[in-house]
Structure 1
Amino acid sequence: MALTIDKSLLDQTKEKAQGAVPVVESALDTLIDAAKEGIEAAKGAAKDVAAASQAKVSEVAEASPSELYGGHDDAEGSGGGRWFKRLLVLGLLAAIGGIIFKRMRDSQQAADNWQSAYVPPPPPVADGEVGAAPDDAAAEPHEPTTPDAPVEVVEVADEETAKES
C-alpha cells in the first residue's frame, strides 16, 4: 500500500483506524462472552464448594470430642502441657544460640585488635638543615637562576684528596 500524494498522512491514518474498528469490536465481544461464561462456571464451582464445606461443618458439629481428638476425652485438655514444653525448649534453644553468637562476635573483635597504639616520634629537625619548616626556606631570598645567570658552581674536594692534604 503505497502512500498517495492526494491524501495527507493524517487522512490515511484515520481511514486505517476506521477499518480496524470492526475487528476490535468483534474481539471485545468475544472477550466479554468468554468472561461471562467463566464467571458463571466460577459461581457453579463456588456453590459446590460451599455445599461440601457446609456438609463437613454439620458432621463436625454432630461429632463427639473423642471422635475429633482421636480418642482422648480429657476434660482438662492434654494439649496445654505440650505447648508449654515446646515454648520452654524453643526459649532454651534461642538462649543457647544467643550465647554462641555473643562469644563468636567477641572472639572476632579480639582477633581484629591487632593494631597497636604505638605512634613513632617525629624525626628531629635542625635549624636551617633539611627538614626545616617551609617558612624558613621562603624567608631566605635568593636570585632566580636563568640560562644567562646560572648558579655559582662550588668545587667540593673528594674525601681522598681531603685526607692527603
Structure 2
Amino acid sequence: MPNWASGCVRVEGDPKDIEEFCKLFLFFDTDSMSQYFARSFIHQKWGEFKKEYLGGNIAEFGVEFAWSGHSCLVEGYPNGEECITLIEACKKHKVKVAIDTEESGFAFEEHIQCDRDGDLIEESNYMPTYVCACGEEISFPTNYDCLDEEECWKCEKVGNWRKK
C-alpha cells in the first residue's frame, strides 16, 4: 500500500486541450483507456469533474498520487505505452502545468512545472519539523500558516509549536 501525495494541479491552455489532458488522470468511472497517468487519481466521476473544473483557459483541481507526483508523472510506471509522462502529455496537448504536492508519511513536498514544449522544472524538499512544548514533533508544509490553531495530539494544547 503506497503513501499518498496529495496535490493541487493547475493546467493552462486552450479549453479543449485542457480537457484532453485531464482525461489522462484516473477517475472513479474510468474503465479502460489507451494512455493514462500512472497511479494519479481524481476522486470524482469524469462528468462531475468536467462540469466543476473545465471550460476555461485554466483548470485547478486536487489529485492523489501513489508515492509522489514525480514517480507517477515524470518516471511513469513500467506499463509500456499505457503510461504517458507529464512531458509527453504537455507537448501532446499544448498545455502548461504546475503541480504542488505534500506527502505527510515521509514529510516531503514537491513543486513540478512543465510547459507546452515539455521543459520540466522539479523541486522536492522535506517539510519543516515543528516541536510542541511537550516534545512531540510533527511536520507541516512550508506554506502552512495556521500553526497557532494546531492542536498537539499528545498534550492537546493549541498553538504551542516552534520550528525545530
TM-score for the superposition, normalised by structure 2? 0.15
Q: TM-score, normalised by structure 1?
A: 0.15
Q: Greater relative contact order: 1 or 2 (C-alpha under 8 angstroms, separation 6 or more)?
A: 2
Relative to total residues, which structure has the larger strand share, 1 or 2?
A: 2
Structure with more helix by fraction: 1
